[in-house]
Amino acid sequence: MKYLGSGSATRLAAFCEKPGMVRFGKLFNMISLRLLLFSLVIAMVACDDGYLRGSVTISSDGKTYLVVVDDNGGGCGPIIVDGKIWSYMIGEAGLITPGHHKIQCGGWIEFDIPEGVVFHFDYWGP
């Protein structure tokens, strides 16, 4: 360690030049970064409404609707809901009964729609 003169500021500067302090600073930054990332992940999960296949909003008239937002990439033929061709456009709300449903377009997915909501179906994945 080189002599930097006298006074508390110079002693502090000399103390901070020690190799152990550099590692402590990097460790502190890594911990801070991990806490930030953990907080972001928790915030993203907390904002989820719990529906894997889509999202729900409360229906203004108390009826139950389905909005097919994603057509599974298109080109799979007509969208079929519960064995019938879905006659509504992509993004258009159609009246549906609450409960268990099956949607088909290139593959099929089963999902549940609660009563009195608009269910926005937007996820065909596993």
- Map residue 89 onto helix, strand or coil: coil
Q: With bands split at pLDDT 50, 70 and 90, how would you rate the model's confidence at 43?
A: very low
pTM of the predicted protein model = 0.59
Q: Return d(Cα 115, Cα 42) in angstroms, integer.
A: 28
Q: Are 118 and 98 in contact (CB under 8 A)?
A: no
Q: Would you place residue 53 in the very low, low, confident or very high pLDDT band (cuts 50, 70, 90)? A: confident
Length of the chain: 126
CA-nearest of 53, 68, 58 to 111 is: 53
Under DSSP, is residue 56 helix (H, G, I), strand (E, B) or coil? strand
